[in-house]
Structure 1
Amino acid sequence: YLSFHLLPPLSPPLDPSLFPNPIAASLEFSRLNCPNVLHALQTISNSTPVRALITSDPYGAFHPNIPTYYYFSSGAASLAAIVHLPTLHNQWTTGFKDLPFSLVSIPGLPPIPASHMPEPILDREDPAYHGFLCFAANLARSQGIIVNTFDSLEPRAIKAITDGFCIPDSKTPLLYNIGPFIDKSFDRTGGEAECFSWLDAQPNQSVVFLSFGSQDTFSALQVREIATGLDNSGQRFLWVVRSPPPKQEHRNNKRLAALTDPDLDALLPEGFLARTRNRGLVVKSWAPQEAVLNRESVGGFVTQCGWNSILEAVCAGVPMVAWPLCAEQHMNRAVLVEDMKLAMPVEQAEDGFVSSVEVEMRVRALMESEEGRALRERSQMMRENAKAVHGQGGSSRIAFYKLTESWRR
């Protein structure tokens, strides 16, 4: 059964406005709550034997008598980058943002431009950077790390971690790769019926699906470029369009803009909806992504490379166009394209902008070219691998058994 223990509020309350970004504020909230978590653990263990603590808390409330395991919701490549951060910190004399075109070498990953490292660790002066250094140290001292991935999806990164190359100065915790875990539920209503009925009327593997997650939005200019590229491509498409951010607003306010549905007539090029009505559907703000990807008519996915989106596409066997926007997504793209070979990349300007010509070319290539066909075949193979890992003798099932056995001991 489940028992919930409420932590007391912080006193004084944390003021997010005192921090340069939400991630830094969240990390400080975590750090300040460590004593409360330890007190709760002590209270629970006084009456009930505690076999293990599973946490995602970067600061980690380590109890001397309770083994601590981390649940890492992203992939092994991101994990390799984080646990290797202390080594990179000692190797580099400046922040990654200050040498954007230098290549960063992380065991188990392709070389990555410094500017493509995860956003919270680009600036050494950012409090979030030091929070991630602490996170890396706590991951290294844990009893084990539970990862939302599976062995055949990221063999190179997994091997680099387990062989000790990412944490060269201490013992590496055991990895338990028990994914993929995907939330198949959704609680939004309104657009999915139209979405599904339209998809089911299209030929098999004929539709390219464009959806870019819930964290960032495109400028109005970028939305129009995407529309022009789709118009010129001649391909069938299902496109989730979200409201652009208000002009001159800070990135943090993009999330606020996304709360309102876009005005498609004002946002899209004149005549776009009429010209494409027989081969395209534009959905406002949201679509049930996992369910859409598993429709037989969907043959390609233009994605921002968030880990959940990658796993959903892998499990559906859908090849991708990789268009990273923020966080660790540029790093995910490198692994997705170069190691997994499940996607082709878009070419982006230095500020991240993608032209309509590039959109047109990549969408056509994904759906029509020999490279797209090869990606589709490999995606279908990886889909079968993902289906097998939780079955009898599957790698994720075995990893989960080993994890639970470690608690018995």
Structure 2
Amino acid sequence: MEKTVVLYPGLAVSHCVPMMQLAAPLLEHGYAVSVALIDPAVKDDIAFGAVVSRVAASMPSVRFHTLPTVEDVPDLTQDTQFPAGYLELIRRYNERLHDFLCSMRPRSVHAVVVDSLSSEALGVVKRLGIPGYNLFTSSASVLAAFAQLPTLLAEGGTSFKELGDTPLQLFGLPPMPASHLMAELLEDPESDKYKAMMASLPRILEADGTLVNTLESLEARGVAALRDPRCVLGRVLPPVYCVGPFVGSIAVAEAKERHECLPWLDGQPDRSVVFLCFGSIGIGNHSEEQLREIAVGLDKSGHRFLWVVRAPVSDDPEKPLDPCADPDIDALLPDGFMERTNGRGLVVKLWAPQADVLRHKATGAFVTHCGWNSVLEGVTAGVPMLCWPLYAEQKMNKLFMVGDMGIAVEMVGWQHGLVKAGEVEAKVRLVMDSEEGRELRARVAANKEDAMAAWNDGGSSRVAFAHFLADVASQQDRACTREGMGLSDA
């Protein structure tokens, strides 16, 4: 009988790409891989659809199945609908996923791996008696925090929002200001956003195990917390498999012309360029004032830079700007900035090939929004980082990057709503010129070596993946035994 693993990715590029990269080692170990997809058109995300198309082209042995559409799909185009609308969408597709798994003869499906945003689907998988696993696309430290949050306020009536900057005492993690939690957790406890988020967190722990896109050596403290019975008292957490880093984009079959920034980087000295890039989806774009402060700081720093600029946010809620609109660089940046920095700086509109830029020998520092995929790309490239979190779990990532990991310094002005030019100048010089910056670079270099070795023979991630496959096989053997005894749960 063919051994099959079904992947069920989330509707976000940052979640889908690591899930698709999981397909390669599964194929290598003799598993057939099927991908169950919610129609990308549901989210109206061109980038997500493009990723799916690239995967299909570059991995012809992976089978894709788009689940039949459901009626009355929640509107996911508005930020106000997350996460409640997204979780409702997953619930509505549960029956479609159930029918798809049944059509595959459930016992031929050895495991289903669902995106952590789609953990609602684990109930379907369990009812069919199929081992179900999560792929957690953020850090193990964030997972350890998520595991503990549902019970943290159980005895008191205080909300996370009311706690403000009061540090949360989480087992195995450094003290975390409550204000660093995801925005949905800082809503009114009676709001749909808060209720949906708090209801979703315990479901992550209902899996048979969790694959985490991380390196165990990078997050030794967070991983140890997840494996300690004291993490969530009275509950044994499922196994954690650190199988990262899954970084970069999915391979494209045909070669494409190099982005304009790469030939420019070719002409710069080694490790001389500061790269500023704040994500590709437009959430949390900077204001016009903030863009000018960045420009002045870069100008005064005297260092070379490559800066990806997106259209600014609008102060007028009745006239919102398209975050993916083409920015008017001349109007947004200070007079004379482009002329003064000509030759040592390059401003790119909207997008740059981040992974390629970070791997380039000219790149010496990375100013990042602390999205986990970006963090891993910085680690695997051996580039020290300056943290500027904007949304989602990025404030939590920042805390671990600066503290436990020691791979970054923080632009603290974000906490006050504006990083001023003086801080931009000072932090760039700290990382590029100072002894502290050299120590930071050395720590990142050590992590890069660990990342490069992780998937080699005997490497930590390859060993963890082998443990995952052994557990899948063991679960399948037990299921077959139960079926033979007439005890199947399917």
TM-score, reference length from structure 1: 0.93
| CA distances 1:315-363 after superposition (whole Å, capped 9, x unpaired) | 0000011111111111101100011000011122544211111111101
1:71 paired to 2:135: yes
1:7 paired to 2:72: no
1:202 paired to 2:262: no
Q: Give 2:336's match in structure 1, choosing from 255, 271, 290.
A: 271
1:230 paired to 2:291: no
Shift in CA distance, 211/198, structure 1 to aligned 2, threshold 3 Å: same
Counterpart in the other structure of 2:323: 258
1:59 paired to 2:59: no
Shift in CA distance, 203/13, structure 1 to aligned 2, threshold 3 Å: closer
Shift in CA distance, 18/219, structure 1 to aligned 2, threshold 3 Å: closer
Counterpart in the other structure of 1:25: 85
- Answer yes or no: is the 8 Å Cα contact 2:259–2:352 preserved in 1: no
Q: Give 2:309's match in structure 1, choosing from 241, 263, 272.
A: 241
| CA distances 1:57-79 after superposition (whole Å, capped 9, x unpaired) | 13123223111111111110111
- Answer yes or no: is the 8 Å Cα contact 1:27–1:128 preserved in 2: no
Mind listing any 5+ residue stretches in structure 2 that lack a counterpart? 1-60, 475-490
Shift of 1:373: 0.6
| CA distances 1:102-123 after superposition (whole Å, capped 9, x unpaired) | 1112223221111111122222
| CA distances 1:244-278 after superposition (whole Å, capped 9, x unpaired) | 12332389x6xx62322211110000000000112
Q: Give 2:244's match in structure 1, choosing from 175, 179, 183.
A: 179
- Answer yes or no: is the 8 Å Cα contact 2:388–2:414 preserved in 1: no
| CA distances 1:261-316 after superposition (whole Å, capped 9, x unpaired) | 21111000000000011211111111100000011111111111110110000000
TM-score, reference length from structure 2: 0.78
- Answer yes or no: is the 8 Å Cα contact 1:211–1:240 preserved in 2: yes
Amino acid aligned to 1:200: D
Counterpart in the other structure of 2:25: none
Matches of 1:82 and 1:269, distance apart in 2: 42
Shift of 1:24: 2.0
Shift of 1:191: 9.3
Counterpart in the other structure of 2:168: 104
Counterpart in the other structure of 1:395: 460
Amino acid aligned to 1:34: N
Shift in CA distance, 231/327, structure 1 to aligned 2, threshold 3 Å: same
Matches of 1:250 and 1:152, distance apart in 2: 48
Identity %: 42
Mind listing any 5+ residue stretches in structure 1 that lack a counterpart? none
1:322 paired to 2:387: yes
Matches of 2:296 and 2:79, distance apart in 1: 39
- Answer yes or no: is the 8 Å Cα contact 1:59–1:134 preserved in 2: no
Q: Give 2:186's match in structure 1, choosing from 122, 146, 149.
A: 122
Matches of 1:97 and 1:150, distance apart in 2: 32
Shift in CA distance, 92/266, structure 1 to aligned 2, threshold 3 Å: farther
1:49 paired to 2:108: yes
1:221 paired to 2:289: yes
Counterpart in the other structure of 2:370: 305
Shift of 1:126: 3.1
* Secondary structure, aligned partner of 1:300: strand
- Answer yes or no: is the 8 Å Cα contact 2:173–2:222 preserved in 1: yes
- Stretch moving more, 315-324 or 72-81: 72-81
Amino acid aligned to 1:260: A
Shift of 1:182: 0.9
Matches of 2:66 and 2:277, distance apart in 1: 36
Matches of 1:236 and 1:388, distance apart in 2: 31
Matches of 2:181 and 2:338, distance apart in 1: 38
Matches of 2:312 and 2:251, distance apart in 1: 24
Question: What is the count of residue pairs matched by the alignment?
Answer: 405
Shift in CA distance, 294/71, structure 1 to aligned 2, threshold 3 Å: same
- Answer yes or no: is the 8 Å Cα contact 2:83–2:196 preserved in 1: no
Shift in CA distance, 19/147, structure 1 to aligned 2, threshold 3 Å: closer
Shift in CA distance, 154/10, structure 1 to aligned 2, threshold 3 Å: same
* Secondary structure, aligned partner of 1:70: strand
Matches of 1:379 and 1:350, distance apart in 2: 25
- Answer yes or no: is the 8 Å Cα contact 1:388–1:394 preserved in 2: yes
* Secondary structure, aligned partner of 1:84: helix
Counterpart in the other structure of 2:482: none
1:37 paired to 2:105: no
RMSD, aligned CA:
2.3
Counterpart in the other structure of 2:46: none
Matches of 1:226 and 1:212, distance apart in 2: 13
Matches of 1:212 and 1:70, distance apart in 2: 27
Amino acid aligned to 2:166: S
